[in-house]
Structure 1
Amino acid sequence: MSKTNYVYIITSIAAIGGILFGYDTAVISGTTEALQSHFKLDDKTLGWIVSCALIGCILGVAGAGWIIDTFGRKKGMFFSGFLFTISAIGCAFPINLEFLITARLIGGIGVGVASMATPIYIAEIAPPNIRGKLVSINQVAIIVGMILAYSANHYIIVLGDEVWMNNLGWRWMFATETVPAVLYLVLLYFIVESPRWLAKNQKLENAKLVLQKITDSELVESTYSAILKNLKEEEGKIGELFRSKKRRITIMAIILALFQAITGINVIMYYAPRIFLTAGIEVGDAYGHSIVIGFVMLVFTLVSLFLVDRIGRRPLLLIASFGMGISLVLLGLAFPYAEEGGALLLFYTLSYVSFFSLGMGGIYWVVVSEIFPNRVRGRAMTISVIFLWGGNFLVAQFFPLMLSVLMEQVFFVFAVSCIICFLFIYFTVPESKGQSLEEIENKLF
């Protein structure tokens, strides 16, 4: 087996964390109507049930940097898989509403840890010439997880009537997550640890052995020397990220994270069926549309995967933010007429998620996994990702109320965010394609 193929295999195993990330994120969309009926929830409480997992994400991200910097990227991923398993079982069999919220929080912590550990791990084992593609595999995995969740939800919802769904169906939706979670825990045993983490923790012999497994023979010594050189030059303290030139990069990563969250994607991910139902589309079609959305996201994420190392990070981000803004304007204009022309509403929704998947979906994770120094990469990335999940929480918490009050005008609010995002990327985000992590660090810091 070639070393490149070996790297693809361990990347694919690590990316199962992305499948769980996507599954846990999307599965709630199929349960909202049933949960509202079963627990007699108002819109505000429903928003809390959906968004409380994002509080868990913030907690998970806050601790993930320390976990993966202290115990390793591999153990961080294993911890997230364990949390996904516990959450899936807890959400399926809650003894009361508080128990369900707790289980959702635990799942959110798992998402937060996985959202940190997986892209960092992949970035640190990947050759520079295909690193963007390999990190983007994690985004492909997230979309695959979403499709699996949407498909499972759609299959389950047609098994019984509304009464069955409100009492039992939603439990099966949550329970199905245990399958990929257990598979993830088993397969993680077979992957190597990040050589850069091993070197950082003075396990130099192991680091070199791993490099020999994943790096072309003629590049092992030069890669190993570059890693050691950069480790010696780094202070290794999070405070260094807020000094002089470093501060600019840190702030850029924070704002980019916010835009990934507040340009509307979680409106689609969490509430797609609810949007279509509100617009007057029938239940079966509403849930079927969610599956179509997932497949379109997968296709354009694959397109992004093949373009990211060819045309670069910046162009894809710019194209995405501009296209997302236009799509949201058209979506808002079509919303009042969806009952007569539901296909048009679906088309503009697909246009939006296509542009998101092409750029903002996966490229954000590529950029933030590349731009921070090796010794503090985990904790530095924590800063950015906390803001991402904070933005996600605000959107998920308030969207049901925004939709009921503003109706189609809510999409214009997110369109404005996309326009501002385009300008921000144009003026601040650097290009990093084709450079080693050490080269990027020397250039930015």
Structure 2
Amino acid sequence: MVGAGPVGLAAAAQLLERGLRPLVPEAGPQAGAAVARWHHVRLFSRWSELVDPAARRLLERSGWTAPEAEAYPTGAEWASQYLAPLADALGEHVRFGTRVVGVARRGRDRIVDAGRDSEPLTVHVETSGSEERITARALIDASRTWSTPNPLGGDGLPAIGERSAADRISYRVPDLSVETARYAGRRIAVAGSGHSALTALVALAGLAERHPGTHITWLLRRGAVGNVFGGGQSDQLPARGALGLKAKAAVEAGHVEVVTGFRTSLVERDPGGRLVLESQDGHRLGPVDEVVVLTGFRPDLSWLSEVRLELDPVLQAPTALAPLIDPNVHSCGTVYPHGADELRQPEPNVYLVGMKSYGRAPTFLALTGYEQVRSVAADIAGDREAAGKVELTLPETGVCGGSDLFDARPAASTGGCCAPAPAVLDLVAPGKRA
């Protein structure tokens, strides 16, 4: 397993339960190192949905007491009350400060056919001041999406000037317990339409209530708000539905200005050092003091260059899984059951799991990852019956149909060649105008 996050550690617990010897190299200094970086964010899944069954059995043998099943932990609580104890229970099977930099078939680069079924994998790792090559029977990759956020640029590449404006751009949900001075009383642009963006909007709207003069502009690439607030009371995860309702209330209260159809192509500084954003159609917005970019993540595939992968050309997810999770097609919470058969790569005994398996698709739940690695562990152990018997029932979002990632050009559009012109939407409720 690569990565000591929730899914990587769950995979280790599943394999250990089957009598196999897992090893989990983790580049960070602790279990859930990425989770710890969004420690201040409260999850919309309950504890009962955040603990892997095999991990629970392992922990309970060590005297662990499970948190309240119906409570919603923060990232910090998930890491400290579950992931850290789980890593401790796994003991020598987890190695921190160990970064995987490559994997290959022993003695063969990717173009050699002979021996790919018989030779083991070699996993190349770096630790402080040394390098090591680890021989492995199988590789389960549950690593590196948090470190590769999508950029502000609307074409998937950083906008011109985005890198040089890094001092005023953040790619994480702000932690207002320590960053109040950075955002209070400032003009802030938030880019993104997923749950992270909604979380940031709700937090910043609260800041605006406490600090007059704080102005928030929400940039949506899509041409209409559509279902961006989610399913509300129809969401089978109540906290997820409530998040969307809170964000909608913040907009209606006048704390958030919504700009649709804005796909950033240029970031410039004004004479005072603030940022002006320009869309692909030449529309300009700003100046703003800070930009919060929450446009999703993408998988880091750089260290997998010497193994044979079969990934969807759009999502960079395993080809058998991609049609089930494509946000261009649907945004339902329900994903068809899937496991080893969908996650297995052409390279023998190589699997992508967790958020890595979703490529660039959003809305991954821990429940999905836990069932993935249960199936994969069974497959590696040779239990094909258990590997193929995949059961996955996810809570629906209450929103179905295409997710409007990009709107078709209306017949009377006055915008550019691909999208309507950016529009500022007035969603302020009567009597609540700011």
TM range (shorter): under 0.3
TM-score (normalizing by structure 2):
0.28
User: Greater share of strand residues, 1 or 2?
Assistant: 2
TM-score (normalizing by structure 1):
0.27
User: Greater share of helix residues, 1 or 2?
Assistant: 1
Q: Based on CA coordinates, which of the two structures has the bigger radius of gyration?
A: 2
Structure of greater relative contact order (alpha carbons < 8 Å, 6+ residues apart): 1
